[in-house]
Amino acid sequence: MARIIVVTSGKGGVGKTTTSAAIAMGLAKRGHKTAVIDFDVGLRNLDLIMGCERRVVYDFINVINGEANLNQALIRDKNCNLLYILPASQTRDKDALSIEGVGKVLEELAKDFQYIVCDSPAGIEKGAYLAMYYADDAFVVTNPEVSSVRDSDRMLGILASKSRRAELGMEPIKEFLLLTRYDPNRVESGEMLSLEDVQEILSLHLLGIIPESKSVLTASNAGVPVILDEKSDAGMAYADVVARYLGEKRPHRFIESKKGFLRKLFGGK
């Protein structure tokens, strides 16, 4: 049975697409056949980050409308043959997505894939609703700032009450926290919320902390998910996230600033 993961946040620009690309690649690299779907109709971002924008012929909406079948629309990743991308349409508007249409596509994908990663658009409107509706697991991407935390909280409420699992009274969606763009120096100086602050408000299972890192931009410019940059901090952090999601225990990293780390080492504080 396929597991459907939604990568969601409420707030825009927090790192959903970066995360979707990284974890989809991570899961595929570990031998799980994975599809990643761009729900951000009208914007189309995922294919750029995956570096397959020049190979897009058909998109998600073509498949929903029956203008193309899934095999025609799915793009096989250039780095990993277990990873497939279903791009969003740039030319349609959001209303082209329907709950039945999305359900049909996911059902068909579920026959052939082990993991289906849904990259949600920002907001709590239709696109975000459809991206989370069929999910089994949710990666709630949050930045360490008040407005992002508040939006994540809002999204968690929607996951708990509006999803298919909620409507059918099934076991609820499993919710995981992904704290991204974490900058320990700015946390220490009080410019950003700390992990503890965020957890006090959200109290969620923490899947990982992704540090603020130049490697993310470099990777996205190169059209390669950052997880493939195995030496970068963000790449390592995403690899940890995938491992933890698959059940491995790994200590959390990248929480402390270099300064704080040294202080701790020498017993200060």
Partner 1 sequence: MSLDVNKNYDMQPVLEFKSSTFFVLVLIIHSNDLMMIEQKLREKTSQAQDFFRNSPIILDVRELNQQSHGIDIIKLINLIRSIGLFPVGIRGGDDQQNLQAASLFIPVDMSQSSASSQAEIQKTVTSSPSATSHEVIKEIVVSTATTLINQPVRSGQRIYASGDLIILTQVSAGAEIMAEGNIHVYNTLRGRALAGVQGNRDARIFCSDLQAELISIAGDYKTSEDLKDITPRKPVQIYLQDQALIIKELI
Ligand X SMILES: Nc1ncnc2c1ncn2[C@@H]1O[C@H](COP(=O)(O)OP(=O)(O)OP(=O)(O)O)[C@@H](O)[C@H]1O
Q: Could you say whether residue 99 binds ligand X (CB under 6 A)?
A: no
Residues in 162-181 that interact with ligand X by CB under 6 A: 180-181
Cβ proximity to ligand X: between 136 and 151 the closer is: 151
- Tell me the CB-side half-sphere exposure of residue 183, using CA atoms within 13 A: 11
- Strand residues in the chain grouped as ranges (E): 3-8, 34-38, 75-76, 83-86, 115-119, 137-142, 174-182, 205-211
Binding mask 172-201 for partner 1 (x = CB under 8 A): x---------------------------xx
Residue 160 contact partner, candidates ligand X, partner 1, Mg ion, none, CB within 5 to 8 A by sort of partner? partner 1
Residues 27, 238, 18, CA angle at the centre, nearest 5°? Answer: 90
Strands of 137-142's sheet in order across? 75-76, 83-86, 34-38, 115-119, 3-8, 137-142, 174-182, 205-211
Binding mask 7-46 for Mg ion (x = CB under 5 A): ---------xx---------------------------x-
Sign of the Cα torsion 80, 254, 220, 47 reads positive
Among the residue ranges 33-41, 56-64, 152-160, 187-195, the one whose residues contact partner 1 (CB under 8 A): 152-160
Sign of the Cα torsion 59, 126, 120, 100 reads negative
- Residue among 8, 34, 142, 220 that touches ligand X (CB under 6 A): 220
Q: Could you say whether residue 150 binds partner 1 (CB under 8 A)?
A: yes
Asked if 49 and 21 touch (Cβ cutoff 8 Å), the reply is: yes
CB of 124 to ligand X, least distance (A): 12
- Residue among 18, 62, 89, 148 that touches ligand X (CB under 6 A): 18
Binding mask 115-134 for partner 1 (x = CB under 8 A): ---------x----------
Contacts of 83 (CB under 8 A, 6+ apart): 24, 25, 28, 34, 35, 36, 76, 77
Residue matched to tokens 């991308």: 85
Residue 156 contact partner, candidates ligand X, Mg ion, partner 1, none, CB within 5 to 8 A by sort of partner? partner 1
Cβ proximity to partner 1: between 152 and 232 the closer is: 152
Q: Which residues bind partner 1 (CB under 8 A)?
A: 124, 150, 153-154, 156-158, 160-161, 172, 200-201, 203
